[in-house]
Chain A
Amino acid sequence: MTGTLSTDTTSGPAWQYRTPRQSLLQWLGWFLLVVLTVFCWQLMNENTIWAFVSDAPDQAMDIGSRMFPPAWGYIGQLWEPLWDTINIATLGTLIGVAIAVPVAFLAASNTTPSTRFVRPLALLLIVTSRSINSLIWALLLVAIIGPGLLAGVIAIGLRSIGFVAKLLYEAIEEIDFNQVEAVRATGASGAQVIDYAIVPQILPAFWGISVFRWDINIRESTILGLVGAGGLGIQLSASLATLAWNQVAMIFVVILVTVVISEWVSARVRQAVI
């Protein structure tokens, strides 16, 4: 983006933010965006049955009325799956973080032992973990190690590796290198440089990222039961299957309260470490 100056006008030099070529490209970009929007709208309408859509408010009202009031007494059966859900999220986060920390150091360009070989491998691991949703990890793991909590914990753990490692390696790449140089100049070994110069600089980021991921994992683990990986999701799929809408509403209330509490905890922790 370089501006242009032209001196051929009579009223002194004129400065333009973009060259004519850049302006043209920009207009072309906007035009393509409009074309894409029109195309997508058409695609969406092709498979929509408008009779059903016009019916939607009535249907929503119907389900809404069946959901209300929530089955408050159902809470008795929810405590145990709720505990499972929290355990899945917490253990999964711990596993994810434990693996993500070394991966982040291997992936950060300023700490990796080899940019040619190890770094691409670590980045591949991060991308793989990030590109597959927890629910799909859980589907795979239920097939491999059978239904239950373990599948859920591992699914959450695998998904967390990429998230935590990516944010952490970016934090490592942004550290102040003068501090590293100063510690190295004292004759410190590699492990000591990490301990004294790098860890103190990334510690706030580390706690922030870990707690944030734990908070996300609480939300994600509530649905893992849908594919048989334990927790509240099992109860949810059972209630949905029997059309017990007031039980479904109760489960939503429990999930909402849990998520609010976990967000509060993560906000407090992030405040404390900065």
Chain B
Amino acid sequence: MLKLDKLSKTYATGDTALSQVSFEVPAGQVVGLIGPSGAGKSTLIRCINRLVEPTEGTITLGDTDLARLQGRALRRARRRIGMIFQEYALVERLTVMENVLSGRLGYVPAWRSFLRRYSPEDVSRALALLEQVGLSQHFNKRADALSGGQRQRVGIARALEQDPELLLVDEPTASLDPKTSRQIMRLIGTACRERNLPAIINIHDVMLAQQFTDRIIGLQAGKVVYDGPPTGLTDAVLTRIYGDEDWNQMRGEEATDEAPRTPEVDLAEGI
């Protein structure tokens, strides 16, 4: 379980990215984090694994207060948190297998990772994950030889290779086409359900968020302005998060496009 309490972040430039953000994520819950650009979504998930230093507040994962950790203890905490990135952030010139195995870096000593001598369990877990994301044929290819959707699957495999207790996902579909976006969201959802893994997915696409998450948190100028079920995103709520816009028009397009399909059918389809 993840618990944020009065988390705030003010950058050195004086910009307040987050103020007094508090919420809890129980095991197995997939949370969609929505909000306009610059609302602090990226900062929020980067504060959790301390790629960005929070200014105030506590972040509790299990029994550990992540906000206070330093050095070795921080690295041990980070290996419990998997992260998936917007532009995939794979190491382009390493192979798919090396990228997936880099999920184990927090567990193995530097000399082992330098010689690429991972334990048989690590290797078989990596192969199983590649199988699961449909890339078992490609384990020996260089990451820059893959398409966008394939790269994001490697990104997912790398995060799961960590055997994480929490998944942080930063705009996973921003660089992908609509179909691939759905496949990727479905894959993340399935992985979380199988492992009872909580996840925070930072996402621009409100429709995708509604379809693939259990709960929505709306962020506006660093403050939580909505926290509730995906069905609760009424026009008033969307206006509170994003400002004035003709929300019905957006829904209208979506309704004609998606009317015959329910989310349940979509999930059953697999990938």
Contacts and interface: CB of A to CB of B under 8 A. Distances in A.
Given A182-B83, A192-B105, A195-B113, A187 B75 contact: yes
B103 A186 contact: yes
Interface stretch (A63-71, A197-205, A226-234): A197-205
Interface string A179-217: 101111111110110011100110110000000000000
Interface string A7-20: 00000000000000
Interface stretch (B9-17, B84-92, B124-132, B197-205): B84-92
B89 A187 contact: no
A178 interface: yes
B99 to A, nearest CB: 9
B49 interface: yes
Contacts, number: 81
Given A178-B89, A179-B91, A200-B91, A185 B102 contact: no
Contact of B106 (A188, A191, A195, A203): A188
B268 interface: no
Interface in B47-84: 49, 51, 75-81, 83
Contact of A179 (B92, B113, B162): B92
Interface residues of B, number: 31
A188 to B, nearest CB: 4
A186 B89 CA distance: 12
A189 B110 contact: yes
Interface string A124-164: 00000000000000000000000000000000000000000
B91 A191 contact: no
A196 B158 contact: no
A181 B51 contact: yes
Contacts of B195: none
Given A195-B110, A195-B113, A200 B79 contact: no
Contacts of B113: 188, 192, 195-196
A135 to B, nearest CB: 38
Given A189-B75, A192-B110, A184 B51 contact: yes
Nearest to B113: A192
Given A178-B87, A192-B113, A195-B113, A184 B92 contact: no
Contacts of B236: none
Interface in A207-261: none
A184 B78 contact: yes
A2 to B, nearest CB: 24
Interface residues of A, number: 21
B87 A186 contact: no
Contacts of A181: 51, 85, 89
Contact of A185 (B49, B93, B107): B49
B90 A182 contact: yes
Contacts of A204: 93
A224 to B, nearest CB: 37
A196 B105 contact: yes
A182 B79 contact: no
B83 A185 contact: yes
Nearest to A204: B93
B108 to A, nearest CB: 9
Contacts of B107: 187
B89 A195 contact: no
A60 B178 CA distance: 74
Contacts of B91: 179, 182-183, 196-197, 200-201
A195 B80 CA distance: 21
B94 interface: yes
A195 B110 CA distance: 9
Given A185-B78, A186-B103, A196-B102, A191 B110 contact: yes
Contact of B94 (A186, A188, A200): A200
B240 to A, nearest CB: 32
A188 B75 CA distance: 7
14 contacts: A179-B92, A182-B155, A184-B51, A185-B51, A186-B102, A186-B103, A187-B75, A187-B162, A189-B75, A192-B110, A192-B113, A195-B113, A200-B92, A201-B91
Interface of B: 49, 51, 75-81, 83, 85, 87, 89-94, 98, 102-107, 110, 113-114, 155, 158, 162
